[in-house]
Chains A and B, each alone.
Chain A
Amino acid sequence: MDQKMIVSQVVGGSLDAIAREMSATVTRTARSPLFNEAHDFTTGIFDLSGHKSRLVAQAPGCTLHLYAIVGAVDHLIDTFRYDLHPGDILLVNDPYHGGSHSLDWTIVMPVFYNRKPILLPAVRSHMGDNGGPVAGGYNPNSKDIWHDGLRIPPLKIYERGEKRQDVFDLIVANNRLSHWLEGDLDAMIGACKLAANRIQKMLDQYGADQMIGAIDERIAYTERRVRDEIASWPDGTYSAETFADHDFQGNRDIKLKATVTVSGSDLHIDFTGSSKQAAGFINSPLSNTTSFAFVGISTCCDEDIPINEGYMNPVRVTAPVGTVVNPELPAPCGHATACVGAEIAEAVLLAISKCAPKRVGVNAHKLPLAYTNGVDEDGNQWVNLNFFGYTGGAGAAFETDGWGLYPPVMTGVTLPSIEMNEIQYPSRVLKHEYVADFTGAGKWRGTPGLDVQIQHLADSSTSVMMAGVRNTTKGFVSGHDAPSNLVIVNYGADNQQAVEETAFAVKMPPGGIIQFRRAGGGGWGDPFEREPELVLEDVKNGLVSLSAAAKTYGVAICQQSLTIDYEKTEQLRRK
């Protein structure tokens, strides 16, 4: 390994460590459980190459944020290119300024060396509220971007090291969770400042040229690795389409079409043919679309490849303006990070499955989102995203079952502690368990589906946004699709309501229960090719019933002895 490579590794490793330290800082100092429990944020470091930013390092976070930060940083730099100063800290959330949905806010702090901005630590986080018509920011009635909540185009919240208190207060005033928001913003700012200090020391030690050289080397390494992967796929053009159930405004089966062209080590993903932008809030701004395309690509590549700009260098994304994958103002985008984000990744993976079937399968999830809000004894509003209800949905991949709960799209997002959740909210998780026969079967099956009951102990209001009901999460290479999600509000009460598509602000009395039947992920490969011993294991663990073992997997298991009847199994599978 030459010295250049060694420096590259050292610098790159240091920057990754700084990104991880940023992440730990946010986790430990933020107030919102979305940060300190669910880790619904991502930290990264960028540099400037001409007028464009490049992702240099990142900490494991919410993968779907990753390439949306790139767009956000680009817009911030573009806006303040001639008005950037040491000590400036910038904020943006607007989907039409490089964002995804307006609940995801990005904070960036340029670090200067020799009077030039060289590196930019950034944090992107999902905030608990964003003002606008509804608490929590997910508004199924949304018909334009203002229905999604506050739009923050590129804005300085610190100028030359001084906090712009009036700007800060204005932002906080437009949020229902101001008691959290102030602390959360401070946590994001603190992480950027900490990173800026670390980076400044590195710049002093190495100088800008050597650092940029090392970064270039690292990006080139990633690019080489990704190109090697793409080059291993046969050249050609592969198309696939999938559908989002609806746009929450009564329009159904929204088409997402991806045409993937492999040409040597170059990959072109073209979303031409996707539906026109939708009336409802499922539209995906370009940054979000690119981010979910990245989710698709990254799951096809080796996990030891450093995540940076090099990842997408071989990839070109085309998304026609005015479509659901690149909408025009004022189309609403509030749900884009779930729907149609999941379908974007799915369409890309379905297309790639035609040329590299063993590389696909771990997909994004179609989640039945339900959030509940109320007011606590102190008069503060609370918004509970009911994380436990829709965690899950990870699909299978070649040689592996869907594991755990979340699919990779949520990589660093963790399942909050139920105990902490019950302290932070007037809520109880009554049930959170795997259920049998509720995932996509396959040679490798999806992660098991869940049966979840969440009870809210105070007067509350719940909105539900269903997905994965009509068009469930896809299986790959003859693997079965996931079953349909199901949510029931006011479960067990006289007025219980099974939600078909959406429910808005359903009132629940103290003790009201939401029942989730959260489907697992899609399967990979023919279920009849699954090793019978694995099916038996699933039966013993209560994940597959005896009848499903026989019918779906072609494995005959003796009910009394819980052993495989190989002869009968062979007969079943021959059919």
Chain B
Amino acid sequence: MIEEQIQYSKLQAISRQMGETLQRISRSPLVSQDRAFAAAIFTNELELAVQHQFKPEHLFAVKESVAHLFDYFSFDISDGDVLLVADPYNGGTKGQSLTMAAPLFYQGELVLFPVIRVQMIDLAGEFPGGFHPNAFEIWQESMRITPIKLYKQGLLQRDVLKFLLANSRVKSLYEAELNAMYACLRAAQTQLLSLMKHGKKQLDHAISVMSDYSHRRILEQIKQFPNQDMHSELTFNSNAEVINLHVTIKALKDRLKINFEGTSKQVQTPVNAALSTTKAYAVWPVLAPIAEEVAINEGLLQAFDVVVPKGSVLAPKFPAAVGLSTVITGHYIAEVITKALKNNDTADDLYLEIHGPGPQAILFPPFGKERETEPLFLAPGFPESLQGWGPSALFGDRKLVSAEELEFNYHFKMVKREQKDKQMIIQIINQGASFDVITIIPEKAGRSYGEIKMDTKENNLVLHGSTVGNRLNHGDEIAFIYERGGHQ
């Protein structure tokens, strides 16, 4: 076991270094600040060997995106190929999250290979950044990138690259991101080859052992759950839609079955969650207590069986919009799971209340003025977790944007960032040019998740829901109010 742990740790180091390198060389604040990415290594059987991630949404999406890529290209994958996919209906979560896989061949056979998944800054769509509160179909949110080869046998498909870049409002940054991802994957491939040259069989064995270990650890956890069907329901809102989530959890001998039968049908707003999103957010409350101790790998994923009715808000049919699912619906999925466990007196240490959505905004210069329009994803604070220790886990590992950075890069002066009682309040004055503002604020009857206030020369707005079409001009103020765990 010690030998296997050492071997596996080397593999983990490669995966981790992929992520660290990406974070350091990336020009996108979504990567360098928000850490909206995941890095992983897969076996030749397309089993997840190891995964590092800083956002909850990636848990299943990396594996399922890779599966779709290999299903699509089947026996047409060669050494030097680099494959891309960014499609909620091809294993993904939301349109902007792009998976890049670099299949690796050793002595003519497919072997361990690296994969990176990153949220791109913009893939066209109606609004920069891809978050469109009024979208009802996927093309409004971003370009669909179905499985495509960016490199073919080591050769860049230059016209494909130009095609992709032409469909972004931030072409230069997009290209830099693709280059950064590619560089990280190539470096990881070199390291993997080096590792395999020193004993491929031992490495394969170590992956198998550690995957079994993760699986056992989860099963140990599951065994302690009440031996009964655990139900719960939750209702939330999106525009005029009332959405009901219904879950039944059952701890089986070899897995935890999470069944969302009874959940509302898909809706005409972008809170529909792709299947990979639903799985990730359903699993995290159970995983959270041991997440630091257990590696994310195939064994871990296999311990969960998530059943979702097709056509429901948690597994919509193409082409429903899904863009807000990771920032809104995911939290409600986690909450309904937590509620089911709590209602049935599951021991406190077997799950965690990790949900806690809050307001955020996407700001961008008015359309059509410049060749590139870079959105700013602004969440200058966080809703304090229910336990009172910093942000809720589902808020991710994003770094809190610094006042200096906002001032330097965007001419936004942060005049207040204070925490008192159960609130965090941030006030920012725009000392630069005009920005259009999209707000994303969770909605649930009888409960507040905070608000965004815009104090402009024309009017004073207090926003409690997701909106488009407001403008923040020079001298205007925007304030974010976060509520701890959602205020009743």
Show the binding face of A for B, using Cβ within 8 Å: 79-80, 94, 131-133, 143-144, 146-147, 150-156, 166-167, 169-170, 173-174, 176, 279, 328-332, 379
Q: Are B144 and A152 interface neighbours, CB within 8 A?
A: no
A173-B87, A174-B144 known; A330+B139 contact, CB < 8 A: no
Q: Are A154 and B146 interface neighbours, CB within 8 A?
A: no
Q: Are A153 and B368 interface neighbours, CB within 8 A?
A: no
A505 to B85, CA, bound (A): 31
- Identity of the chain A residue whose Cβ is nearest the Cβ of B162 in the assembled complex: A153
A94 to B163, CA, bound (A): 10
Interface centre among B87, B162, B368, B371 (most CB of A within 10 A): B368
Q: Are A153 and B163 interface neighbours, CB within 8 A?
A: yes
Q: Are B145 and A146 interface neighbours, CB within 8 A?
A: no
A156 to B159, CA, bound (A): 7
Q: Are A132 and B368 interface neighbours, CB within 8 A?
A: no
A155 to B148, CA, bound (A): 13
**B237 interface hit (Cβ, 8 Å):** no
Q: Are A176 and B367 interface neighbours, CB within 8 A?
A: no
| Contacting residues, chain A, for B319 (C-beta < 8 A) | 176
A279 to B140, CA, bound (A): 20
**B431 interface hit (Cβ, 8 Å):** no
A147 CB to closest chain B CB, in angstroms? 7
* Closest 9 A/B residue pairs (Cβ): A143-B367, A133-B126, A144-B368, A146-B124, A151-B166, A173-B146, A166-B148, A131-B139, A143-B368
The contact size tier of chain B is 20 to 34
Q: Are B169 and A146 interface neighbours, CB within 8 A?
A: yes
Q: Are A155 and B160 interface neighbours, CB within 8 A?
A: yes
**B143 interface hit (Cβ, 8 Å):** yes
| Contacting residues, chain B, for A146 (C-beta < 8 A) | 124-125, 167, 169
- Tell me which residues from 32 to 73 in chain B have a Cβ below 8 Å from any Cβ of chain A: 72-73
Complex A-B: 11 CB contacts under 8 Å: A80-B159, A94-B166, A132-B126, A146-B167, A150-B124, A150-B143, A169-B147, A174-B139, A174-B143, A330-B370, A331-B368
The 8 Å CB contact of A155, one of B72, B144, B159, B371, is B159
A329 to B370, CA, bound (A): 8
A94 to B317, CA, bound (A): 30
A146-B167, A150-B143, A173-B87 known; A79+B368 contact, CB < 8 A: no
A173 CB to closest chain B CB, in angstroms? 4
| Contacting residues, chain A, for B370 (C-beta < 8 A) | 330
Q: Are A330 and B371 interface neighbours, CB within 8 A?
A: yes
A169 to B76, CA, bound (A): 15
| Contacting residues, chain B, for A328 (C-beta < 8 A) | 371
**B149 interface hit (Cβ, 8 Å):** yes
- Identity of the chain A residue whose Cβ is nearest the Cβ of B366 in the assembled complex: A143
A259 CB to closest chain B CB, in angstroms? 28
Apart from A169-B146, A174-B144, what are 5 other A-B pairs with CB-CB below 8 Å? A150-B143, A154-B159, A155-B163, A166-B147, A170-B163
A79 to B145, CA, bound (A): 23
**B373 interface hit (Cβ, 8 Å):** yes
Q: Are B368 and A332 interface neighbours, CB within 8 A?
A: yes
| Contacting residues, chain B, for A379 (C-beta < 8 A) | 317
Q: Are A144 and B373 interface neighbours, CB within 8 A?
A: yes
Please encode chain B, from 157 to 188, with 1 for each CB lying within 8 Å of some chain A CB and 0 for all others: 00110110011010000000000000000000
B162 CB to closest chain A CB, in angstroms? 5
Q: Are B371 and A167 interface neighbours, CB within 8 A?
A: no
A298 to B161, CA, bound (A): 39
A75 to B253, CA, bound (A): 63
Q: Are A147 and B146 interface neighbours, CB within 8 A?
A: no
